[in-house]
Amino acid sequence: MSAGSGSNTANNFRGAMMMVISQAAFVCNDAIMKLVSADLSLFQTIFLRGLFTTLLLGILVWYQGVKLSAVTKGDHRILSLRLVGEVGATLCYLTALFNMPIANSTAILQALPLAVTLGAALFLGEAVGWRRYSAILIGFCGVLIIVRPGAEGFNAYSFWALASVVFIVARDLATKRIASGIPSSLVALLTSIGLTITTGVLLPFSGWRPVELQSVAYLTGAGVFLVLGYLTVISAMRTGEISFVSPFRYTILIWAILLGLFVFGDVPDSWTLIGSFIVVATGIYTFYRERRLQKRDALELKRDVVAPEVLRHR
């Protein structure tokens, strides 16, 4: 094995571990938010967590020496659209999370890669073949198995989780249009500021409940886990190959099931597990297929560039 391949293997392993850590951090944040929901309103939890998250991200941006001037006028509209997606996704997902088992809401969210692929095809004009369209259709069937509308045990809050997927797709498609020169930490900070201000404005509509020290400690922890998730998922995608690292996103389901079982006493039923397996399988296939097509396109581009050079030197 060459030194280069050994280096790639090590980077992929580190990237995969960072992805696993990021998903554990995200689901720990969700679990803490669900715990706090018993004592505080939805807008309170998001607002107070936002204060802690914004402070931590602000320190990070300051430490990195990032300037607000990195954001150009042309990016204001895209960042605003991204913020709308983030606000909608947060409100919808936490509404679902506070009212249904954490494993179920997390499982529904795993349809996101399929939904992003579909959204990119419909709104960004990206080419998607019949294989990936088939995977998307099968994956959404898996989501329906998890939700089971009309069946016994159906939870209407599942639709809030589905709505959050739509908003996250809008957020991620907007993210694709952000200039590469804007650091990810600055995008995260601006989003956190916007989300905190938005929920602060909405606070009068939900009322203010007394905030105890335990809730403050919980929300501080949630903010730490959220920032840890942001940083490790970015590190994972920059360290390893996307096709190798991305499927490890689905380890969040394992963490969600374990936390749901040991913290909330929720045991997912067989239909939820079957639906989750279908969503994960089709999502991994979509990652694999997209990566394979990217490699093919890269080879064709290289061939188109090299061939004229060879002919010119004959």
N-terminal to C-terminal alpha carbon distance within the chain: 35
**Average pLDDT value for residue range 279-285:** 89
Which residues 6+ apart lie within 8 Å of 225 measured at CB?
Answer: 25, 26, 28, 29, 32
pLDDT in tens, 164-218: 999 988 888 888 788 878 888 888 899 999 999 999 999 988 878 899 999 999 9
Q: How many CB atoms lie within 10 A of CB 172?
A: 18
Is a pLDDT exceeding 90 seen at residue 122?
Answer: no
pLDDT in tens, 128-146: 888 888 988 998 999 989 8
**Cα 23 from Cα 308, distance rounded (Å):** 46
| Torsion, Cα of 174, 179, 182, 187 (10° steps) | -10
Q: Which pLDDT value is given to residue 1?
A: 47
pLDDT classification of 95: cutoffs 50, 70, 90: very high
Percent of the chain with pLDDT over 90: 46
- Give the residue carrying structure tokens 């239909």: 271
pLDDT classification of 9: cutoffs 50, 70, 90: confident
**Cα 158 from Cα 100, distance rounded (Å):** 8
**Average pLDDT value for residue range 249-271:** 91
Q: Which pLDDT value is given to residue 199?
A: 94
Q: Which pLDDT value is given to residue 196?
A: 95
Is residue 19 within 8 A of residue 251, CB to CB? The reply is: yes
Is a pLDDT exceeding 80 seen at residue 256?
Answer: yes
Is a pLDDT exceeding 90 seen at residue 36?
Answer: yes
Percent of the chain with pLDDT over 70: 90
Is a pLDDT exceeding 70 seen at residue 305?
Answer: no
Where exactly are the structural domains of the chain? Answer: 17-312
- In the chain, % helix, strand, coil (3-state, to 5) comes to 80, 0, 20
- Give the residue carrying structure tokens 């969700």: 30
**Cα 199 from Cα 48, distance rounded (Å):** 9
What's this model's pTM, rounded to 2 decimal places? 0.82
- Measured N-to-C along each axis, helices 73-97 and 158-176 cross at an angle, to the nearest 10 degrees, of 160
pLDDT classification of 117: cutoffs 50, 70, 90: confident
